[in-house]
Amino acid sequence: PIAPVANNINTVGTGSVTISGSGDTLTTQLTGLTNHNVLIGAGTTTITKVAPSATAGVPLVSSGAAADPAFGTAVVAGGGTGAVSFTAYAVLTGGTTSTNPVQSIASVGTAAQVLTSNGAGALPTFQTIVSTILTFTTPGAYPYTVLQSDQIVKVDTSSARTINLPNAPTTGTLFIIKDTVGSAGTNAITLTTVGGVVTIDGATSQTMNVNRASLYVCFDGTAYHIL
C-alpha cells in the first residue's frame, strides 16, 4: 500500500520515462525517441538510441560490453572478404595486407587467352599464347643478312651462298638455315655473322655442304650454338 501525502499520491518519471497529464488522467511515456532508431540500454534509469545505417542490409554489430553497438560490417569468424560485389566472370585470388582477403584480377581477358603467372609479387593476368608457327624467309639477294624476325631461311643453292647472322639478336633466338634446292653438296652455304665477330659453335663460320641440310642455331646472349 502507498500512503498519500496531504491526500495526494505523486507519480514521477525518471530518465527517458516521463509522466504527463493532470486530474484523473496521467500518461506514462518515453521521450527523446527518433523514428526508426534502435533503442538500447543506457544505465539503470534510462535508454538511448542508435541510428540505422543509410545503407539497407547493414547489420547491427556489437562493440563489446563497454560500448554501444553500431551498424557496420560484420567480421566473419575465420576471415571474410569484406567485399560486397565482384566483377562478373573475374578470377578470384588471395588478398594482401592492403586489400581484402579475397580480390579479383583486373581483367577477364579475351577469348582463347590463358591465365599466366606474373610471379609472386603480382596478380596473374590473361595473356595471348605465344605462337609456335614458324615462318619462311626467301632471300632476294646474297650475301643475305638474317633479320631478328626471320625464323626459317630458305637458301637457294644454285650457287655458293653466304648467310650472315645478326651479331646481337634477342637472347634465346633460334634461326634455321635450310638448303631448299638440294645443291649444298656442290654449292656450299657459308654461315657466319656480320663482320665475323660472333662465333658459331666456337668458330667464326660454319660450312653447310650436305644436300638438303638444315642447321639450327640459337643465340645465348654472347655466341651462337648449333643444336
Characterise 196 by phi-psi region: left (phi > 0), alpha (psi -120 to 50), beta (else): left
Q: How confident is the model at residue 20 (pLDDT cuts 50, 70, 90)?
A: confident
Q: How confident is the model at residue 77 (pLDDT cuts 50, 70, 90)?
A: low
Q: Which residues contact 5 (CB under 8 A, 6 or more apart)?
A: none
User: Which of residues 218 and 43 earns the better pLDDT score?
Assistant: 218
Average pLDDT, the chain: 89
- Residue 75 CA to residue 124 CA, distance in Å, equals 28
pLDDT digits (tens, 9 = 90+) for 78-132: 666 666 778 889 998 888 877 777 888 888 999 989 999 999 888 999 998 877 7
User: Which of residues 219 and 12 earns the better pLDDT score?
Assistant: 219
Give yes or no for a contact between 40 and 16, defined as CB atoms under 8 angstroms apart. Answer: no
Report in angstroms the alpha-carbon separations of 191 from 72, 80, 160, 177. 74, 64, 11, 9
- Residue 224 CA to residue 227 CA, distance in Å, equals 9
Please check the confidence at residue 224 and state whether its pLDDT lies above 90.
Answer: yes
| Mean predicted confidence (pLDDT) in 17-43 | 86
Q: Residue 41's closest CA among 67, 63, 59?
A: 67
Q: Which residues contact 10 (CB under 8 A, 6 or more apart)?
A: none
Q: What is the model's pTM?
A: 0.49
- Residue 183 CA to residue 160 CA, distance in Å, equals 9
pLDDT digits (tens, 9 = 90+) for 167-184: 999 999 999 999 999 999
- Residue 151 CA to residue 134 CA, distance in Å, equals 6
